[in-house]
Homo-oligomer: A and B are copies of this chain.
Amino acid sequence: MVVETELTDDEVDRIFRALADSTRRDIVRRTLTAESSVSELAAAYDMSFAAVQKHVAVLEGAGLVTKHPHGRERMVRGNPEAITRAQALLDAYEQIWRARIGRLDALLAETEE
């Protein structure tokens, strides 16, 4: 099954931007393994609750994480689909590269004729 990505430039910006911070990458890692509340996450890092809250918001904006109310806490859950989409983006670059190799091969084959 091929996932129809159809992402706007802005969405792609947000995905990579969100991944460009080690705290945020760590939050993705954790919440991909097991969902946890914002305060649980906040306890894990040497920064204020509000700072972690902002990181979660960035991840949420990029679709890398979803938040689900559960009583007074908000459970944060990593979204594997977004990771897959990001991978698809990088795959596209690899395709471009492979296409270039293909053209070079064709060129070499031609000179051998």
Contact = CB atoms under 8 A, between A and B. Distances in A.
Interface string A89-111: 01101101101100000000000
Contacts of A54: none
B90 A87 contact: yes
Contact of A16 (B16, B83, B87): B16
A80 interface: yes
Interface of A: 9, 12-17, 19-22, 25, 28-29, 32-34, 78, 80, 83-84, 86-87, 90-91, 93-94, 96-97, 99-100
Q: Is the interface of A mostly helix, strand, loop or mixed?
A: helix
A93 B83 CA distance: 7
A78 B101 CA distance: 13
13 contacts: A12-B25, A14-B20, A17-B17, A29-B93, A32-B96, A32-B97, A32-B100, A33-B96, A33-B99, A33-B100, A34-B100, A78-B97, A83-B94
A82 B34 CA distance: 30
Given A90-B87, A97-B78, A100-B32, A13 B20 contact: yes
